Chains A and B, each alone.
Chain A
Amino acid sequence: MWRKVWSVVKKELKDLFREKRTIFMTIILPAILMPALLIGMFYFQTSTSKKEEVQAKTVAIQVGDTLAKHYAEILKKEKIIENYIEVDDIGKAIKDGKALTGFKIKPKGDSIIIETYYNVEKASGSQKIQAIANIIKEMYVAEYLQKHGLPPVNTLTQIKTTPIGDPLAMVKAMTGYLLGLFLVMFTTIGNTYLGADIGAGEKERGTLLPLLSSPADRKSIAIGKWVALTITNLISATALLAGEGFAIWYVIKQSASIAQKNFDIGMIGKFISPSTMVMLFLAAVLLALFGAALQLIISMWSKTLREAQLYLSQLGLLVFLPAMAIIPTMISGGKLAMWAFYIPIVNTMALVYGAVMGQLTTLNVIVAFGANILVAAVVIGIVVKILDMEQVILRT
């Protein structure tokens, strides 16, 4: 039987990959998707933050506000801000994008009132003006204490900060989740065209009848087609992971160069280690097996290519529902429950997330593989049965 299975696999792969669309959908698109998204987001974010940085460095003060001018000069001298502008209307200056923040200082007896302005539409405005206000406050207190012959404030209090936990935890959680989603996407619905072609395409082109009347048994045909689809799904997943690896490497390298540090390849290791990559690939295998079985049964059941493509694209919406199941865990940064490893699709998400977060146990992996192979075997069993159902194979 296995020789026939292999013949079907070889034929299907040859047949599928001679179509230019297949190469684009299976290899090129998944390979460029993650780099395009990650690198695109990186450049968008850096260009936005650079623009904001320039705005942030310029602070608006009111014309004639001598106290504000006094502190602005000190801030400029200390290189806390790059420049300040004197304007009639601070609000208008911020709205017009001439400055991200601004402040006024009004004396009140021995004390001062610092009025701050920032653009709520920019994420960092509030923090920046708060920081500036704190510095002015400290400077004013220091000047006040000095004037009254008291020791400087920084000798009175000292703050020590100890960060607890993994500083990359949130980034890892987000990466794990996104990567899981893309894996689910490419190994279940990314190859919709191929999935549709392998069953419904055969019916539409009239090649199924000669195939089913050939001496090959139905089981060999069904398993061969399933393996071929699994391989194409896996090629997509590998391309996706390779693209992801490249994108992470590139973004870290660029981030390091922007921060004017020497790029250290070990930084990637902190993010995704080789063992994590192996686990990601295993998760891809797992999903590819299940996704191919799902694609095959839908494709075999459909009358035409178009019908199969329609069902398979609808399936895309459905697979995202179980994929959402681990969002609460991701948001809380918690540990995954065991049930997540029993359910196909959810268990792939769980494996990817767990691998990136370093939470996986051997039992998790065994349960996930067992569950998916079992479900895929049942689905393939059904495909073998439906290849014998004339009302299905002759639906035209």
Chain B
Amino acid sequence: MIEITNLKRNFGKTEVLKGISLKAEPGKVTGLLGPNGAGKTTTIKILSTILKPHGGDIIVNGHSVIKEPALVRKNLGVVFEESGIYQRLTGEENILYFADLADVPPDVAKERMYKFFELLGVDYAKKLAGTYSKGMMQKINLIRAIIHNPPVVVLDEPTNGLDVPSTRAVETFIREMKDEGKTILLSTHLMAQVEKLCDYIYIIHKGRIVEEGTPQSIKEKYDTATVEDAFLKVVSSDVA
């Protein structure tokens, strides 16, 4: 469970987050949508304890990012847009390193890792990561983030720049995680993906939550055929 309450954050004099509140529940994929610069990545960086909030708080499975950042990180798996894979290590070594850092016993980590390899079709993990394509790296990135089996998973543009088969594999994987009962917060600008995966969405614009609801309810509210059209209406009406 993720509970964001009145979250504020400035960069210098610029107010990037102006008091956003949202909730992501277990067993559901919650989408965080917004145009570039809306505040999605800042929210995720605060959630992953890299940045500190200037107001409000985020509670992850009962732990505050302000008061208990270490416990938040234990409950959290974050996939950043930039894969951040160590190029001179193999895919396996990358994953097992993070498992080690999360105190996952090596045999458990390996068992979990091979299961994920099968689900995502990873058969290259013994090669150095420097030889991987972007899609190959992102799959390793995804597995690395959840190797410690966190109850909460945050995905920041997880399929950005991936080809169709890789995108589909990642989407299937997200569904599997949801079925396992994990809380998933998905930040993306791919509206088709939102429609396919998200149970509930929040639209963030200029540092505020400007709309929320299920994809269906939002489409109905704005009388559009797609979430993308609804999103455009929300964002343009907010601009106006």
Hey, which chain A residues are within 8 Å of B48, CB to CB?
209, 212-213
Query: A199-239: which residues lie under 8 A (CB-CB) from chain B?
Result: 205-217, 220
Query: A58-114: which residues lie under 8 A (CB-CB) from chain B?
Result: none
Q: How far is the CA of A215 from the CA of B60 in the complex (A)?
A: 14
Q: Is A7 an interface residue (CB 8 A)?
A: yes
Hey, which chain A residues are within 8 Å of B84, CB to CB?
205-211
Chain B 145-156 interface 0/1 with A at a Cβ cutoff of 8 Å (1 = within): 100100000000
- Asked, given contacts A11-B97, A210-B78, A390-B50, whether A215 binds B83 with beta carbons under 8 Å apart, the answer is no
Chain A 239-255 interface 0/1 with B at a Cβ cutoff of 8 Å (1 = within): 00000000000000000
Q: Is B222 an interface residue (CB 8 A)?
A: no
Closest partner residue, chain A, to B93 (CB atom): A14
Structural contact, A11 and B50, CB atoms closer than 8 A: no
Q: Is B231 an interface residue (CB 8 A)?
A: no
Closest partner residue, chain A, to B47 (CB atom): A213
Q: Distance in Å from the Cβ of B43 to the closest Cβ of chain A?
A: 13
Q: Is B70 an interface residue (CB 8 A)?
A: yes
Q: Is B217 an interface residue (CB 8 A)?
A: no
- Asked, given contacts A209-B50, A390-B50, A393-B50, whether A215 binds B85 with beta carbons under 8 Å apart, the answer is no
Q: Is A121 an interface residue (CB 8 A)?
A: no
* Main SS at interface, chain A: helix
Query: B48-106: which residues lie under 8 A (CB-CB) from chain A?
Result: 48-52, 70, 73-74, 76, 78, 80, 82-89, 93, 97-98, 100-103
Q: How far is the CA of A4 from the CA of B128 in the complex (A)?
A: 23
Chain B 23-57 interface 0/1 with A at a Cβ cutoff of 8 Å (1 = within): 00000000000000000000001001111100000
Hey, which chain A residues are within 8 Å of B206, CB to CB?
none
Structural contact, A206 and B103, CB atoms closer than 8 A: no
Q: Is A3 an interface residue (CB 8 A)?
A: yes
Structural contact, B70 and A215, CB atoms closer than 8 A: yes
Among all A-B residue pairs, the 6 with the closest Cβ atoms: A213-B48, A216-B101, A7-B100, A206-B82, A18-B88, A210-B84
> A205-B84, A214-B73 known; 9 other A-B pairs, CB under 8 Å?
A11-B86, A18-B89, A205-B87, A206-B83, A209-B82, A212-B50, A213-B50, A215-B74, A215-B103
List, sorted by A's number, 24 A–B pairs whose CB atoms are closer than 8 Å: A3-B100, A11-B97, A14-B89, A14-B93, A15-B88, A18-B89, A19-B88, A205-B87, A206-B82, A206-B83, A207-B86, A209-B45, A210-B144, A211-B84, A211-B101, A212-B50, A213-B49, A214-B102, A215-B101, A215-B148, A216-B102, A393-B50, A394-B50, A394-B51
